[in-house]
Structures are given as structure tokens and as C-alpha cells.
């Protein structure tokens, strides 16, 4: 990232989103780090399509931005947990999961990619290794896996388009690994995960080293390229 770079983090109220904001605000090279979410100003709510376009319009004058990160995501909610078998599939759960993990990020791509600096712009959306079709060996977690696989396709497709119109832009899907958070808590997250601050630092280090040729990749927090 260049000296004085400007950054946006969507989903800043979550554990890893908040850790991103804290890390960016502590970086002396970062000139501006804004955390966005449902309670921020401008507010972004993936359940309200118009809020995404409105937030992008409000932020246009603060740009261009050299870094935009989407850290919002959902695995479970008050009314559902990840499905272990086909008999547990429901339209309501699939719709809720896709709204946050796929549809909202897709509209971020639409409305926020024009805010990126044409000379050095990186946009990263948190995905998950369980969204890899090739790597799926255990099954289960239908809605979550499918929503992340669909997100990966959107990112790959958008990267191809942006390579033509914004050739210096880097667009990637990022796997953060297991992080100690509310999302991972029901799955021994506190036991097997690592602190959000550690994960954010690892992911920012990966992003800092990316070049335009890396656009369209699916990367782990270690920098490893993951299979789609």
C-alpha cells in the first residue's frame, strides 16, 4: 500500500472486521480507515439493496480508496445452524445465507469497485475454504458452502471484467482460516481458532504484497492459492 492509503472495511462490527479497522488505524502508512456496517454512517445493510448504492455515493468524495475489504458474513443465526444433511434444507435459510454471503457482496462489487484508485486499488472479499468445490471432501453445510462458492464465481468473473477497465485493480477472495469469533463459537472456535487481531494482520500482509497479476485469485491467510 502507498503512503497515506485510504481503506474501507465493510462488516466492521464483527470480530475480524473490527480487527481490520483497528490494524489499519494503527498503521502509520494509512491515512484513512473507515469501518462500515448497519450502524455506521453511511450505513450498509445487505438486507437493504439501496443502502449499498447510497453508501458508495456518500463515500465517493472521500476516495479514491486503495483498499476495500468485505468482512461481513453469516454461518448461523438465531433460527438456524449449518445443515448437515439434505433433509435440513430450507428456502428461508438458503435465502438468508445467500443474502449476506453472496448477494450483498455482489452489489459491493458493483457499487464500490469504481471507488478504487486506478493506480493502486485492492478489493478483497472474505470467502471460505469450505466454499471450494474441489476441496469439498466432508459434505454438509450446504447453504454456507454454496453461498461462498457462488461468491467465488462472482469475484473471478468481476476480476476478468475489471482487468479490462481497471487494469491496476486487484480483486481477490480471501480465506481467513478459523478465527475466535461469534461465527465460529458453536464449532469450538475459541478452542481451535486464533485471535481476530492475528488473522487480520496475516490477511493484511497478504493484501499488501499483491500485484495486478494476482487479481482473480482465491487466497488463504498464508498467501497460498486455493482451488476453486
Distance CA 197, CA 16 (A): 7
**Residue range 107-129: average pLDDT?**
96
**Residue range 130-136: average pLDDT?**
94
pLDDT tens track for 87-104: 999 999 999 999 999 999
| pLDDT value, residue 78 | 85
Q: How far is CA 213 from the centre of its chain?
A: 20
Over 90: is that where the pLDDT of 166 sits?
A: yes
Over 90: is that where the pLDDT of 17 sits?
A: yes
The pTM score is 0.92
| Range 5-220 classified under CATH 2.40.37.10 | no
- CA pseudo-torsion sign 138, 142, 144, 146: positive
pLDDT tens track for 183-206: 656 665 456 578 999 999 999 999
| pLDDT value, residue 190 | 56
| pLDDT value, residue 192 | 59
Over 90: is that where the pLDDT of 140 sits?
A: yes
| pLDDT value, residue 178 | 87
Give the pLDDT band of residue 48 (cuts 50, 70, 90). very high
Q: Where are the beta strands (DSSP E) in the chain?
A: 5-10, 30-36, 67-70, 121-126, 169-175, 218-220
Q: Report the mean per-residue pLDDT for the chain.
A: 93
Cβ atoms of 181 and 16 closer than 8 Å: yes
Could you give the maximum distance between any two Cα atoms of the chain, in Å?
53
Distance CA 200, CA 132 (A): 21
**Residue range 15-25: average pLDDT?**
95
Over 70: is that where the pLDDT of 119 sits?
A: yes
pLDDT tens track for 63-84: 899 999 999 999 988 888 999 9
Domain ranges of the chain: 5-220
User: Which cell goes with 2?
Assistant: 502507498
Q: Which residues have a Cβ under 8 Å from the Cβ of 96 and sit 6 or more positions away?
A: 74, 77, 80
Amino acid at each position: 500500500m502507498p503512503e497515506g492509503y485510504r481503506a474501507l472495511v465493510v462488516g466492521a462490527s464483527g470480530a475480524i472486521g473490527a480487527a481490520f479497522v483497528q490494524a489499519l488505524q494503527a498503521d502509520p502508512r494509512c491515512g484513512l480507515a473507515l469501518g462500515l456496517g448497519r450502524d455506521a454512517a453511511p450505513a450498509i445493510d445487505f438486507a437493504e439493496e439501496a443502502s449499498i448504492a447510497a453508501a458508495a455515493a456518500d463515500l465517493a468524495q472521500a476516495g479514491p480508496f486503495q483498499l476495500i475489504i468485505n468482512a461481513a458474513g453469516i454461518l448461523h443465526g438465531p433460527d438456524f445452524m449449518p445443515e448437515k444433511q439434505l433433509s435440513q434444507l430450507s428456502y428461508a435459510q438458503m435465502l438468508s445465507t445467500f443474502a449476506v454471503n453472496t448477494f450483498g457482496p455482489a452489489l459491493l462489487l458493483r457499487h464500490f469497485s469504481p471507488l478504487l484508485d486506478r493506480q493502486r486499488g485492492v478489493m478483497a472479499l472474505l470467502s471460505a475454504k469450505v466454499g471450494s468445490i474441489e476441496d469439498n471432501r466432508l459434505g454438509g453445510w450446504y447453504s454456507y458452502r454454496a453461498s461462498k462458492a457462488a461468491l467465488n464465481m462472482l469475484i473471478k468473473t468481476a476480476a476478468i471484467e475489471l482487468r479490462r477497465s481497471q487494469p491496476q485493480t486487484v480483486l481477490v477472495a480471501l480465506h481467513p482460516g478459523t478465527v475466535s469469533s461469534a461465527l465460529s463459537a458453536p464449532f469450538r472456535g475459541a478452542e481451535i481458532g486464533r485471535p481476530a487481531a492475528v488473522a487480520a494482520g496475516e490477511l493484511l500482509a497478504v493484501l499488501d504484497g499483491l500485484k495486478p497479476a494476482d487479481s482473480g485469485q482465491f487466497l488463504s491467510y498464508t498467501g497460498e492459492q486455493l482451488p476453486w
